[in-house]
Amino acid sequence: MNPSELCPRFEKGMEIINRRWTGFIIYKLLSGPQRFSAIETSIPISGRLLSERLKDLEQSGVVKREVFPETPVRIEYSLTEKGRALEPILRGIEQWSQAWVTIDHESKDDIVDR
């Protein structure tokens, strides 16, 4: 049986958050609205890729892009209600990684058996 036949909504949800750097972008936006440059300096990602991911998240309804008619124009990105609903999931991953993941450059296995 095809996994998408089991739970197509789960599959679609994983597609949204599973793209490279997407979790980091959402995590960064949990602290509030951010300008593009603030996100770019906090995540080791190219501007082109960041722009692509933000567009994807905006199309998915996770991120809102707001343009302020100022000189120079100010653009901020923030999480929508749908995006903020991911906070418990990301905080859970954060707690899990604090408890179970070690950064041991001598070991190939980053997950600690407890």
Residue 24 has a CB neighbour count (10 Å cut-off) of: 17
Look at the pTM and tell me if it is higher than 0.85: no
Domain ranges of the chain: 3-100
Q: Where are the beta strands (DSSP E) in 1-114?
A: 34-35, 63-68, 74-79
**How much is the pLDDT for 104?**
77
pLDDT digits (tens, 9 = 90+) for 62-98: 999 999 999 999 999 999 999 999 999 999 999 999 9
3-100: which CATH topology?
Arc Repressor Mutant, subunit A (1.10.10)
